[in-house]
Amino acid sequence: MYAIVEISGKQYKVQEGDIVFVDRLEELEEGKSTTFDKVLLVSDGDKVTVGTDTVKGAKVKATVVGHGKGKKIVVFKYKPKKNERKVRGHRQPYTKIQIEKITTGTRAKKAAETEEAAE
């Protein structure tokens, strides 16, 4: 089972157990769990569910593993015949999250029904 989720304006393909590097999420602390409800597509083996905007009732639960910075990239600007050179570096901040569970509307209903039947 996999899903396509929108996080901070970017789309990521995630599966349960995956570790994903997303743009820095300042509001989340390390070790905390969060839920992303902007799920655009859910595939459960043979069945693929695509939302018109988002898939209703679908959610992705994730835990923040840590924050950090990516590898440094070098930005080099150069103008020929002018002896003008500029070297700048940049490290993109990221948040490392682990996908715990992908739930769809029908899957959540089935889980609730089985819990009620067990009680």
pLDDT tens for each residue of 45-83: 888 889 888 999 999 999 999 999 999 999 999 999 999
In contact, 48 and 13? CB cutoff 8 Å: no
Average pLDDT of span 4-11: 94
106 by DSSP, 3-state: which?
Answer: helix
Average per-residue pLDDT in the chain? 90
Instruction: Count Cβ atoms below 10 Å from residue 119 Cβ, excluding itself.
Output: 4
Could you tell me the pLDDT band of residue 104, with boundaries at 50, 70 and 90?
confident
Residue ranges of domains in the chain: 2-118
Short-list 67, 64, 62, 66, CA closest to 93: 67
